[in-house]
Structure 1
Amino acid sequence: MAAGLLVHEVADLCLGKPPLKSLSVSATIADALATLKTSDDNYISVWICDHSNKNSFIAKNGDCICIGKICMVDIICYLCKEENISSPSLALNSSVSALLSKAPSGLVRHVEPSSSIVEVIDLILQGAQNLVVPIKSRIIGTSKRKLLQKSSSTIHNGREFCWLTQEDVIRFLLNSIGLFSPIPALSIQSLGIISPEFLSIKYHSRASSAIGAISESLANQTSLAVVDDDGSLIGEISPSILACHDETVAAAITTLSAGDLMAYIDCGGPPEDIIRVVIARLKERNLQGMLEEFMIDDSSNIPFNSSSDDEEFPSPTSTLSRSRRYIRSSSYIRKSEAIVCHPGSSLIAVMIQAIARRVNYVWVIEEDGSVVGIVTFSNILQVFREHLDSMV
């Protein structure tokens, strides 16, 4: 029965999805920033389009091909690079291709609507993070002029496209989870899907030391664990949360510790004392360009001793006790509070947790809070794929 379910076509998962917004690979990072700020989607696609020169690379998918996707996190990490922090305005004038140059190949793949769900799962397990799928055009009968006017944002090769994500596939499987019994009730430990390899940073370490890890977690659709000296999980620096902020977070990453960055991006906006620390440290490092470009309120003249040569940053909340500093509020879910489970948690429970919080992973911890590993949607899809193989 499960095998019959998965012969459904990709088109079944794309019903009602909005057309994705796009940019040309020749656009600047400033163009990408402006588009992200006016878009309802946290991601925009980047395309190569050549309607005059039919080279072999583009011809595989017609005149246009999607070569990647970018979000605010890509821009933030780019602005945090040592060569860009002194002049962010100059960095924003760079080509958007600079954000894609080091992206692993195959993260974005074109898929036909008639492809099967099994084919989609296989592509994801091969490393694809997002699939670009044509959707039925809602502009049939539209004049050629209107089509051309719209083509710069959503139309390519005369068609509109949408993203198909790992979350879409997991939701599809969850809706028919009973067909896979008894697998959903088994523990993630017994299924062997807890990955012991994960990205982490200590609470007091420089946030800037984790720029590479943030980029990697974005590419892998996971997150960066923030741990204490004993290896207990305190929270996380999540690319999905960073993507909801603007480019000014680059100033916070450049100047704050990992723990204070969590507070900066948490619910309710950054605390005033942390903003003051950001300003003070930007001044110390002569990063006037960041103050001006990001229009950070420079009304504070507080003195602050430089710590640029230290491995760890002193925190503006360093006078707080450990219990208060790491407290988890019961009245609301903090953005930086990690979603966790235990080795004995069932597969279906972990799936529901991740879907409810719109993340592609769940941290696995012991009773004492120490991190065991991480379970990702890719790990989960591997279980279902192996189950299908066993039915053949």
Structure 2
Amino acid sequence: MAVSFLRYEVSDLCLAKPALRSLSASATVADALEALKTSDDNFISVWDCNHSKPKSLDGVGGGGGGQLCRCVGKVCMVDVICYLSKDDSLTSPSAALQAPVSEILTKTPGHVMHVEPSCSLRAAIDLILEGVQNLVVPIRTRSNSRRKQHPKPISATSATTIHNGQEFCWLTQEDVIRFLLNSIGLFSPLPAMSIDSLGIISTDILAINYHSSASSALQLISRSLSQQTSVAVVDTDGVLIGEISPFTLACCDESVAAAITTLSAGDLMSYIDCGGPPEHLVKTVMQRLKERKLQGVLENYSLSSSSSYAHALMMTSSSSSDEESSVSSNTTLRPTRSGRYTRSSSYSARMVRRAEAIVCHPKSSLVAVMIQAIAHRVNYVWVIEDDCSLVGIVTFSGMLEVFREHLETMG
């Protein structure tokens, strides 16, 4: 049974997957920003298309018509936000927006890899465990042969889904975990075992103190995006208050760079929560930007945005100076012991969630944690004790290692 299960191909996981929207490698950060805002996806694939080269013989893609296209990476709003939050970008925001998209692509090689539809599930899991985040797979359709006759090149801002004469989709850790969950009965008694007994609780976590500056968390946010985890926000006793999640940040817009520049980690957690930024924090951001003479950040970023973040910032910017001067620069939001806050309803059509961390207990079963992560569309779950002290984190990659080893012993 185990051997036959691992003979599934990645094409079996690609059924009904949408074609990738793409961005040219010659695009700018501003192009990437526009593509992200007009997409329902949190990630946009970046392609390098050299139409002067003949089709390669490495088995990547299909068709070609004398062109070679390869997905070289992916970008999301978190990449843009982290880039625009850097000191150089803050001092020259317009120049930052015109920088090449390569500036915000991950510098870690191998995050994206092309595979054939016939690639086995076993090989796909191995690649993911080696660090590949997205497997780029050609979509098998009846229209592929016709498309090969008329390949469509892409411009810097094109949203085409066709490369090398065909369309592609990609598979992620979440796709594989969902597929395994659909056949969870094959792995008994593994699913009922606790994550503690399975040894998949990692203590290698990214964390920041609630009162630390949000700007000091920039590197942690970038690392969490690369690791597909999150940044825990803790108090001085190591109690988990919440998190700064790349998933939540990906549903924001570039004006959040102003909040990262001016707020504490705890206040940023509140600012990006799904109810939209609290008014007192918006005023705090405005005042601190003015104190640092960084009003240009709003002029370049917020005016091009339509979300509640930018709207709130610009509304506050146009308010009277008397009202703004009454805002204390020491405004903070005090968390309760459990780290819970009251929030209003969602502001976005995209799926978003609150900044409260998704947690489980060391004795939680593997299948329960899998379902919990999938339900919240994250690749991890924080592990805490009864007193809310942070123990560690369980990730999809850790789960995949357990399933892979289990299948090997069964086969």
Indicate whether the TM-score tops 0.5.
yes
Given candidates 104, 107, 122, the residue that maps to 1:103 is 107
Given candidates 277, 282, 289, the residue that maps to 1:270 is 277
- Equivalents in 1 of 2:58, 2:123: separation in Å? 23
**Could you tell me which residue of structure 2 aligns to residue 244 of structure 1?**
251
| Secondary structure at 1:373 match in 2 | strand
Given candidates 306, 318, 327, the residue that maps to 2:340 is 327
Work out whether residues 212 and 264 of structure 2, in 8 Å CA contact, stay in contact via their aligned partners in 1.
yes
- Equivalents in 2 of 1:352, 1:140: separation in Å? 36
Work out whether residues 281 and 304 of structure 1, in 8 Å CA contact, stay in contact via their aligned partners in 2.
no
Given candidates 182, 190, 199, the residue that maps to 1:192 is 199
**Could you tell me which residue of structure 2 aligns to residue 311 of structure 1?**
none
- Tell me by how many angstroms 1:53 deviates: 3.4
Unaligned stretches of 5+ in structure 1? Answer: 308-313
Kindly indicate whether residue 15 of structure 2 is the aligned counterpart of residue 11 of structure 1. Answer: no
Name the aligned partner's letter for residue 326 of structure 1: G
Equivalent residues, number: 382
Kindly indicate whether residue 134 of structure 2 is the aligned counterpart of residue 130 of structure 1. Answer: yes
- Tell me by how many angstroms 1:136 deviates: 1.9
| Secondary structure at 1:363 match in 2 | strand
Structure 1 runs (4+) deviating above 4 angstroms are 54-62, 140-147, 149-152, 304-307, 328-334
**Could you tell me which residue of structure 2 aligns to residue 167 of structure 1?**
174
Closer, same or farther: CA 338–195 of 1 in aligned 2, 3 Å? same
| Secondary structure at 1:316 match in 2 | coil
Closer, same or farther: CA 59–90 of 1 in aligned 2, 3 Å? farther
Identical counterparts, % of pairs = 63
Given candidates 283, 291, 299, the residue that maps to 1:284 is 291
- Equivalents in 2 of 1:13, 1:41: separation in Å? 18
- Tell me by how many angstroms 1:248 deviates: 0.7
- Tell me by how many angstroms 1:141 deviates: 6.7
Kindly indicate whether residue 384 of structure 2 is the aligned counterpart of residue 365 of structure 1. Answer: yes
| Secondary structure at 2:241 match in 1 | strand
- Equivalents in 2 of 1:143, 1:376: separation in Å? 39
**Could you tell me which residue of structure 2 aligns to residue 218 of structure 1?**
225
TM superposition score normalised by structure 2 = 0.87
Name the aligned partner's letter for residue 386 of structure 2: E
| Secondary structure at 2:46 match in 1 | strand
| Secondary structure at 1:94 match in 2 | coil
**Could you tell me which residue of structure 2 aligns to residue 43 of structure 1?**
43
Q: Which deviates more, 289-298 or 54-63?
A: 54-63
Closer, same or farther: CA 122–159 of 1 in aligned 2, 3 Å? same
Work out whether residues 59 and 116 of structure 2, in 8 Å CA contact, stay in contact via their aligned partners in 1.
no
Kindly indicate whether residue 119 of structure 2 is the aligned counterpart of residue 115 of structure 1. Answer: yes
**Could you tell me which residue of structure 1 aligns to residue 24 of structure 2?**
24
Unaligned stretches of 5+ in structure 2? Answer: 304-312, 346-351
- Tell me by how many angstroms 1:149 deviates: 6.9
- Equivalents in 2 of 1:275, 1:57: separation in Å? 54
Work out whether residues 58 and 65 of structure 1, in 8 Å CA contact, stay in contact via their aligned partners in 2.
no
Work out whether residues 255 and 298 of structure 2, in 8 Å CA contact, stay in contact via their aligned partners in 1.
no
- The C-alpha deviation readout for 1:36-69, integer Å capped at 9, x for no partner, is 1111111111111111135989996670111110
**Could you tell me which residue of structure 2 aligns to residue 387 of structure 1?**
406
Work out whether residues 58 and 64 of structure 1, in 8 Å CA contact, stay in contact via their aligned partners in 2.
no
- Tell me by how many angstroms 1:89 deviates: 1.6
- Tell me by how many angstroms 1:299 deviates: 2.5
**Could you tell me which residue of structure 1 aligns to residue 371 of structure 2?**
352
| Secondary structure at 1:23 match in 2 | strand
- The C-alpha deviation readout for 1:337-358, integer Å capped at 9, x for no partner, is 1110111111111001001111
Name the aligned partner's letter for residue 349 of structure 1: A
Work out whether residues 45 and 69 of structure 1, in 8 Å CA contact, stay in contact via their aligned partners in 2.
yes
- Equivalents in 2 of 1:231, 1:49: separation in Å? 48
- Equivalents in 1 of 2:196, 2:242: separation in Å? 22
- Equivalents in 2 of 1:189, 1:279: separation in Å? 46
- The C-alpha deviation readout for 1:70-92, integer Å capped at 9, x for no partner, is 00100000000111112212100
Work out whether residues 48 and 65 of structure 1, in 8 Å CA contact, stay in contact via their aligned partners in 2.
yes
| Secondary structure at 2:137 match in 1 | strand
- The C-alpha deviation readout for 1:222-243, integer Å capped at 9, x for no partner, is 1110101111001111101100
Closer, same or farther: CA 136–150 of 1 in aligned 2, 3 Å? farther
| Secondary structure at 1:323 match in 2 | coil
Closer, same or farther: CA 304–137 of 1 in aligned 2, 3 Å? farther
**Could you tell me which residue of structure 2 aligns to residue 303 of structure 1?**
325
Work out whether residues 22 and 44 of structure 1, in 8 Å CA contact, stay in contact via their aligned partners in 2.
yes
Given candidates 253, 256, 268, the residue that maps to 2:263 is 256
| Secondary structure at 1:45 match in 2 | strand
- Tell me by how many angstroms 1:329 deviates: 5.3
